[in-house]
C-alpha cells in the first residue's frame, strides 16, 4: 500500500483506469490540505487519514465518472450541468470537477459554514464553472435557475431513497439523470417506486459493486427523468424525510 497521500493519488487513478495528470494531483493535494485545515474549525468529515481520504472520499466520488461520460454522449453537448445535493465537503461534486473541468457544477449545502469552506476551496483551487450555494434542497428545488436545469444530480446523502428522490429529481431536466450513491444498501429500492412515479423519475439501473481494490460495498441507483416534476414537489422543508412518498 502507498505510504502517504502523494503515493495514494496515483494509486486511485490506477484503480479507476484513469491516471491523474500532475495538475490534477496538485489540485487534489491542495484541496485535501484545505479540508484538513478547515476541519479543525468545523466538522466536515471524520475521515482524515491518507488512505481514508483517498479511498472513501476520492475513489468513491470518482466512480461516477462513467455515468457522466454516458450522460455527455447522450446529451450530445459540450459540457453537462451537475448539481451535488448535500455536498458537505464537496464530494462528489468538487472531486469530479477537478478531473472533468468541462463540467458546470453547483455544490448545494444547507449549512452556511460548509458553504464557506466550499467557497474557499473553489477560490484556492482557482476553479471556474463551479459555485457553492447555501440552501435546503426543498427550497432550492423551486428556484427557477435550478429547477429542471441540470443534466445530472448526484447525492451521497444518508436520507431514505424516497426522500432523496424528492430532494434531487426536481433539479433534473427531462432526459437527465439522478445518481443516488449509497453504501451497502439496506432498504428495498422498490420503496421509492411511488416517489419516482410522482416526481417524474424512472429507475434505469441498480449497480452493486465494491470500491476498486477494496471490500467496501457500494450501490449506485441511476434514475432517469422521464417527465416534469409536478409543481407540488418538493414539499416544505422537512416533509420529504418525515413523511416520505411511500
Q: What is the pLDDT of residue 226?
A: 98
Q: What is the pLDDT of residue 167?
A: 98
Beta strands in 119-216 (DSSP E): 130-134, 150-155, 172-182, 201-210
Domain boundaries, the chain: 63-242
Q: What is the dihedral of CA 27, 33, 37, 38, to 10 degrees?
A: 30
> Residue 185 to residues 137, 182, 220: CA-CA distances in angstroms?
22, 6, 9
Pairing of β 217-225 and β 172-182: antiparallel
Q: What is the pLDDT of residue 191?
A: 79
- List 4's β-bridge partners, or say none: none
**Burial of residue 48 (number of CB atoms within 10 Å: 0-12, 13-18, 19+):** middle
Q: What is the pLDDT of residue 184?
A: 65
Q: What is the pLDDT of residue 72?
A: 67
For the chain (length 246 residues), average pLDDT per consecutive 10? 88 96 98 98 95 96 91 68 97 98 97 99 99 98 98 90 97 96 71 93 93 92 97 97 93
Asked if the 63-242 domain carries CATH number 1.25.40.10, the reply is no
Q: What is the pLDDT of residue 15?
A: 96
Q: What is the pLDDT of residue 111?
A: 98
Q: What is the pLDDT of residue 2?
A: 83
Question: For helices 5-15 and 22-39, what crossing angle results, to 10°?
Answer: 120
Q: What is the pLDDT of residue 47?
A: 94
Amino acid at each position: 500500500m502507498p505510504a502517504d497521500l502523494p503515493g495514494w493519488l496515483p494509486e486511485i487513478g490506477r484503480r479507476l483506469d484513469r491516471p491523474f495528470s500532475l495538475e490534477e494531483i496538485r489540485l487534489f493535494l491542495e484541496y485535501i490540505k484545505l479540508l484538513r485545515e478547515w476541519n479543525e474549525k468545523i466538522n466536515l468529515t471524520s475521515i482524515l487519514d491518507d488512505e481514508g481520504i483517498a479511498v472513501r472520499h476520492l475513489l468513491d466520488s470518482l466512480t461516477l465518472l462513467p455515468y457522466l461520460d454516458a450522460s455527455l454522449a447522450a446529451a450530445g453537448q459540450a459540457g453537462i450541468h451537475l448539481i451535488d445535493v448535500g455536498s458537505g465537503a464537496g464530494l462528489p461534486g468538487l472531486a469530479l470537477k477537478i478531473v472533468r473541468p468541462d463540467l458546470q457544477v453547483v455544490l448545494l449545502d444547507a449549512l452556511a459554514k460548509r458553504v464557506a469552506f466550499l467557497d474557499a476551496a473553489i477560490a484556492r483551487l482557482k476553479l471556474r464553472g463551479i459555485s457553492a450555494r447555501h440552501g435546503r434542497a426543498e427550497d432550492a428545488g423551486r428556484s427557477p435557475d435550478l429547477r429542471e436545469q441540470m443534466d445530472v444530480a448526484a447525492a451521497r446523502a444518508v436520507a431514505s431513497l424516497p426522500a432523496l428522490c424528492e430532494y434531487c429529481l426536481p433539479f433534473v431536466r427531462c432526459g437527465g439523470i439522478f445518481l443516488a450513491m449509497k453504501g451497502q444498501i439496506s432498504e428495498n429500492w422498490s420503496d421509492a417506486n411511488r416517489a419516482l412515479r410522482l416526481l417524474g423519475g424512472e429507475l434505469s439501473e441498480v449497480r452493486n459493486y465494491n470500491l476498486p481494490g477494496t471490500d467496501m460495498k457500494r450501490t449506485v441507483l441511476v434514475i432517469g427523468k422521464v417527465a416534469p416534476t409536478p409543481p407540488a414537489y418538493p414539499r416544505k422543508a422537512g416533509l420529504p424525510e418525515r413523511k416520505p412518498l411511500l
